[in-house]
Amino acid sequence: MPRGEHGISREDISDNALKVLYRLNNAGFESYLVGGCVRDLMLGIIPKDFDVVTNATPEQIKGLFKNCRLIGRRFRLAHIVFGRDIIEVATFRGHHSDTDNQKLGKASEHGQLLRDNVFGSIEEDAERRDFTFNAMYYNVADFTVTDFANGREAIQKGEVALIGDPEVRFREDPVRMLRAVRFAVKLNMVIEAQTAAPIKSLSGLLNNIPPARLFEETLKLFLSGQGKDTFLKLREYGLLDALFPQLTPLIKDDSSKELEFILRVLANTDDRINNNQRVTPAFLYAALLWYPLEEHAQKVQTEAGLNNHDAFNIAAGDVIHRQTQRIMIPKRFSTVIRDIWILQQRLPRRFGRRAFQMLSHPKFRAGYDFLLVRGQVEGGDLLELADWWTEFQSADNGQQKRMLSALRKKEGGKGKPRRRRAPKAKGSNDA
C-alpha cells in the first residue's frame, strides 16, 4: 500500500522510533515498524509503543546503538533506550523444523514454543505473527505498508483473526487466547469464529504459562481502561478459571454479589484510568480475592476452632499463596492487599482514639474505598458503616467528636470499658 492508501504519516510516529529505523537503514539493513503500532495508526489511534523489526541480528543491533540492551531467552530482543522511552527491536523470525524442535528442546509436549531464536525472512516473520492485523509492516524508506495477511480487511470487518491454524497457534503460545480477548475489547471488534472456536477447550493450557508472565498479562487486561468489559469477555470464553481458580466458583451466577462487587471495582478502576488518576494492582487483586478469602476464613474458623482474627489472618496467607501459584503477585503488592483486607476488620472498631488513629493509617484511603464498594453491593450495616466513614473523614474535629459520642449512645455504651484499679485490701502494705 503506497502512502495515499494507508494514510500513515511520519508526524504520527515517535521520533525515537524514526531514529532507530533510519540508523538501521543507513547501516545497510532492512527495518520496519510492525504490529500493533501500524494497526493503531491505520485505525487513527495513537500507539503507546513503537516496535521495530529488522534483518539485523541482536548482536548487530547492539553494535549500532550504545543505548542498546539485549533481553530475553525465549525471544531474544534488543531494547533501544531513550530515557523512559524504549524502542523494542526484533530480528525477523524464521520457522522451526520438527527435527530442530526435538533436537533443541524448543517446544513442549503441549506444542508450546520454549525458545524462538531461529531467524528468517520478512515473509517468514509475517507468518509467525499472531493476528492478521499485526502482520502489517511500515517501511520508512518508501512510506509503504506491506500487508501480508489481509490485516486491513480484518480491520474493515472488525475481526480479531489468527494467522494459521488456531489450535496450533494457541498451543504454541496460550497467552494468545488472552491477547485475542484484549484486542477484541480494546478495538471494539469480535473474535472471528474460527479463531474463537478452540478457546474454551484449550483454556487449561494457560496453566503452563509462568506465573510472572501472567502477572504482566493481567496488568494489560485489567489496567488499560477497559477492565470491566475485558473481565466479562474472559468469563464468556472460560479463561478466568486458569487465572483465578478460587474466584470462578463464586461468580457462576450472573446476579451474585461476588460478580457485582468485582464489576463495580473494575468500572471504578476504568474511570480512574480514563481520567488519568493513579491505580494500583493491589486494590484490584484485593477485590478479586476478597470473597474467596471470606469463604476460606469461615471454613478455617469452623474446622480449627479459631477466633475470627486468627482464622482471617491464616486464610489471607492461604489465599494469596494459592493465587501466586497461578499469577505471581510481587511482595510490594501482596503487602498492600493484606493491609486493605485487615482494614476491613478494623474499620468497624471506632471507639476511643481508634477512629482518629485509623485516619492516619497510610492505607486508610484504599481500605475506605474498598469498604465503600462493599457497602454499595451488600447494603445494610456495611453501607451504614461506609457512610459513617464518608462523613467522619470530612468533618471538623468538633463534629467528629459529636459523631463518636452519638455512636456510643446508639450502641448503648458499647466499646472497651475503661480499666479501673482494684481497691486496696484493708490493711495492705505498699512496698
> How many whole angstroms separate alpha carbon 421 and alpha carbon 182?
65
Per DSSP, the residues of 31-42 read EEEETHHHHHHH
Q: Checking DSSP bridges between strand 51-54 and strand 31-34, what pairing results, if any?
A: antiparallel
51 is catalytic: yes
> Using an 8 Å Cβ cutoff, are 105 and 137 in contact?
no
Provide the phi-psi class of 9: left if phi over 0, else alpha when psi is between -120 and 50, else beta: beta
- Residue 87 pairs with which residues in a beta bridge? 80
- Residue 412 pairs with which residues in a beta bridge? none
**Which pTM was predicted?**
0.85
191: in domain: no
98 is catalytic: no
H helix runs in 158-256, sequence order: 166-172, 175-186, 193-196, 199-202, 211-222, 227-236, 240-243
**The domain spanning residue 101 has which CATH number?**
3.30.460.10
Q: Tell me, what's the pLDDT at 430? A: 43
Q: Tell me, what's the pLDDT at 429? A: 44
> How many whole angstroms separate alpha carbon 351 and alpha carbon 131?
59
Q: Point out the catalytic residue in the list 116, 125, 130, 241.
A: 130
224: in domain: no
Q: Tell me, what's the pLDDT at 102? A: 42
69: in domain: yes
Max CA pair span of the chain: 107
370: in domain: no
Q: Tell me, what's the pLDDT at 274? A: 95
* CA–centroid distance for 162 within its chain: 23
Angle between the 290-304 and 308-324 helix axes, to the nearest 10 degrees?
130
> How many whole angstroms separate alpha carbon 330 and alpha carbon 188?
32
397 Cβ contact list (under 8 Å, min separation 6): none
228: in domain: no
Give, in degrees to the nearest 5, the angle at Cα 250 between 247 and 251. 90
45: in domain: yes
What's the first-to-final CA gap in the chain, in angstroms? 100
Q: Tell me, what's the pLDDT at 4? A: 87
> Structural domain tally of the chain?
1
Q: Tell me, what's the pLDDT at 311? A: 95
Q: Point out the catalytic residue in the list 51, 116, 173, 229.
A: 51
46: in domain: yes
> Does residue 81 sit in helix, strand or coil?
strand
Q: Point out the catalytic residue in the list 49, 100, 318, 369.
A: 49
103: in domain: yes
> Does residue 51 sit in helix, strand or coil?
strand
Q: Tell me, what's the pLDDT at 314? A: 96
pLDDT tens for residues 306-331? 999 999 999 999 999 999 999 999 99
147 is catalytic: no
- Provide the domain limits for residue 19: 1-157
Q: Tell me, what's the pLDDT at 424? A: 52
Give me the residues of the chain with pLDDT under 50, please.
99-105, 414-418, 425-431
